[in-house]
Chain A
């Protein structure tokens, strides 16, 4: 942990802080994201209802329109769905799931990718060759298909009864295991450059171990690009989760993510209860857009040689 703060600091020097303050887009998307994160994190305390606690639901209150519309109930700001779940609460809880999947899969991908990239770049030889072959193969497949594949294998390997409970883990693994390649490639590239530099040679002659060199000297230098990839990937991960859920292989309707909410709402597209699909779709789009805007800005601000 002691190495983490300086690392973070080196990626967050004052130039960037300045450019952040100058960029309206970055500030607004950060504020939006912050609001959504908070709403998601504190959903159990903030949400008017716990949509997962079915004992709280009463069909009497189903399909109420948003509070401002005719027949709306102020207790349900964005209306209720066919099972009488409060749409606002569902979105907050759904966003929680989408973000958990997003962050966890990004962290998984980043940790895996950075580790493998460091190893490959530093050790070279057969380890590097094998890793890069695997990366090549994975890169040649569209992420959504790889995610579908991993998802299918994991679901198949689990007993049917455990699938509803493990849907979250399965999603995280299938998205995380799909996306590590970019990190690995970037980190490997930087590592190969860094390790030839004099200070590394110096550290080595001083008797510093390989692991220590990698963690203490090389890692801080590759953190900037990793952060950019991670931000862009977060948006992609949230979208992938939504797509998988939309195709029916993601979160079950009893613990809906934003994608599941849209999938359910899609069935009611023509039934007049537009609020069950419109609000979750808007929430998802705004979330991903904010992440992407931030990622765009971050990339320009750090301006590493990657797109």
Chain B
């Protein structure tokens, strides 16, 4: 242990001992997973990035209504098709006292766009950054990019000098033997500064008194406690050991509401839950010849076999929003006409299956995560039961997310569950490019089933470079209509957000499921 660390520990212990007054403003947050680390450029996990957003900030940020607002940049302008100029905020200081300058932004953007950077995919089209003067930066693109600011909300800014000092200018490389300094240390401009962290146990932040923005919060200390088990997390909430839990299991809402001094926070979420199909020539399920799912009539029949209302009311406890299209209502690209839910009609489904030549049904493999989305495995079990009623047998495998997504992506299944929140883009283009475009290069990276429609491809490519908002939207809606017609994916619902907090906590609940504690107040 270094002397400095010892000193830090000692001061922490001291502040704990003296902390009677400060204790009142400590915010104890319980979450269902831990941070992957302290380096926001080292992974794309949206929970980790959102929490690190308390320490680090980006050029722009989403406000409580998920609109872009200035953060470290005060204004920006399009110089030409491939250059956007950002003017930085004056007087911003990092936690170690350094001033924010253009140099920091250039180093951070280049770090994020580095060829070894795991988050490179999140800033597709960004070529690099160029310093104009001390407080002005040009971002260089490979073409028009209507979503640049949306991307930038997730590109958090480091101090260039600090990175250099600690040999961390390059992103953390999994191959390197040594520990990434930025994984366990942090120095940002945000409303809170990093204090200590024990992985899977606790991460502690303290208020940054020198924050450039006027704080709306009254929190002096944040304790993040990851508690994976739903039951244990709720138990900790019920016993008063936490101020808030994210998420709060749907099935426990009643109990929490019935407990004096605490309440459940609910809001419609951005994440659309859907099932993907294997659209290849042969199912992975060995007992079925060929691929019945390739016929659009069969996929339509399966839609009619699903009782959306029953899923919502029973499995999701009435909290989810049935979805007929692939994006939630808050996301650009949503359209009421596309959102229409096909009628629940098992007889019709059977008839359609018979007409398609599958009167005796068929078997296929179905894969679901069991720890990724709200009640994910339960949804799949219920779906399998509903399919069984129209004579189609789903062989269900529910497994942990790491393995599930590997299977799904490798097309080693015939139907799989996927949830898509379009973050950080917050735009339907995310679905079009990743899930509907024919796979190849940067496109169709989450289209393992191989859906391909030339018209959807054309529209997607046009949307990518269209700067006129209305035209973009119209094209997206058109593309989603085609996908719906083809039953390219089978949308189920928008996942509800469910948090629980003790009375006296006020916090805006945004659809992206991110707890922004710098907007929270406690008493």
Contact = CB atoms under 8 A, between A and B. Distances in A.
Nearest to A82: B378
Interface in A59-75: 59-60, 62-63
Nearest to B397: A164
B314 A252 contact: no
Interface string A253-275: 11000000000001111111100
A14 to B, nearest CB: 52
Interface string A207-223: 00000000000000000
A254 B396 contact: yes
Interface in A193-232: none
A252 B370 CA distance: 11
Contacts of B398: 252-254
A63 B315 CA distance: 10
A271 B251 contact: yes
Given A83-B385, A160-B399, A273-B251, 9 more contacts: A54-B388, A55-B388, A57-B385, A84-B385, A254-B381, A266-B231, A267-B249, A270-B231, A270-B234
A59 B311 CA distance: 8
9 contacts: A54-B384, A55-B389, A59-B307, A160-B403, A161-B365, A163-B397, A254-B396, A254-B398, A271-B251
A112 B256 CA distance: 52
Contacts of A83: 378, 381-382, 385
A288 B310 CA distance: 38
A123 to B, nearest CB: 46
B407 interface: yes
A84 B310 CA distance: 12
Interface in A237-262: 248, 252-254
Given A266-B231, A267-B249, A270-B234, A253 B403 contact: no
Q: Which 3 A-B pairs have the closest CB atoms?
A: A271-B251, A55-B388, A54-B385
A119 B255 CA distance: 60
A267 B385 contact: no
Interface in B264-313: 284, 307, 310-311
Interface of B: 229-231, 234-235, 238, 249, 251-252, 254-256, 284, 307, 310-311, 314-315, 365, 370, 377-378, 381-382, 384-385, 388-389, 396-400, 403, 407, 412
Best-buried of B256, B385, B388 by chain A (most CB within 10 Å):
B385
Contact of B314 (A62, A164, A248, A266): A62
B381 A270 contact: no
Nearest to B381: A83
Interface residues of A, number: 27
Binding site secondary structure of chain A: loop
Contacts of A270: 231, 234-235, 238, 251-252, 255-256
A226 to B, nearest CB: 39
A55 B385 CA distance: 5
Contacts of A161: 284, 365, 397, 412
Given A57-B385, A60-B310, A62-B314, A271 B377 contact: no
A91 B221 CA distance: 47
Contacts of B307: 59
B250 to A, nearest CB: 9
A271 B255 contact: yes
B381 A253 contact: yes
A267 B389 contact: no
Contacts of A254: 381, 396, 398
Contacts of B370: 253
Nearest to A277: B231
Interface of A: 54-55, 57-60, 62-63, 82-84, 160-161, 163-164, 248, 252-254, 266-273
A253 B399 CA distance: 10
Contacts of A54: 381, 384-385, 388
A86 to B, nearest CB: 14
B384 A267 contact: no
Contacts of A268: 251
Nearest to B390: A55
A59 B388 contact: no
Contacts of B384: 54
B407 A160 contact: yes
A82 B315 contact: yes
A88 B335 CA distance: 46
A273 B252 CA distance: 10
Contacts of A62: 314
Contacts of A253: 370, 377, 381, 398
Contacts of B399: 160
Contacts of B400: 248
A248 B370 CA distance: 11
B231 A267 contact: yes
A272 B396 CA distance: 28
A252 B230 CA distance: 19
A63 B251 CA distance: 11
Contact of B382 (A59, A271, A272): A59
Nearest to B371: A248
Contacts of A58: 385
B433 to A, nearest CB: 29
Contacts of A160: 397, 399, 403, 407, 412
A207 to B, nearest CB: 56
B416 to A, nearest CB: 13
A254 B382 CA distance: 11
A271 B252 contact: yes
A252 B368 CA distance: 13
A252 B367 CA distance: 13
B400 to A, nearest CB: 8
Given A82-B378, A83-B381, A164-B397, A267 B230 contact: yes
Nearest to B370: A253
Contacts of A252: 397-398
A248 B403 CA distance: 14
Contacts of A59: 307, 310-311, 314-315, 382, 385
Contacts of B284: 161
A268 B314 CA distance: 14
A59 B229 CA distance: 25
Contacts of A273: 251
B495 to A, nearest CB: 17
A187 B382 CA distance: 51
Given A266-B231, A271-B251, A82 B314 contact: yes
A247 B285 CA distance: 28
Nearest to B400: A248
A28 to B, nearest CB: 34
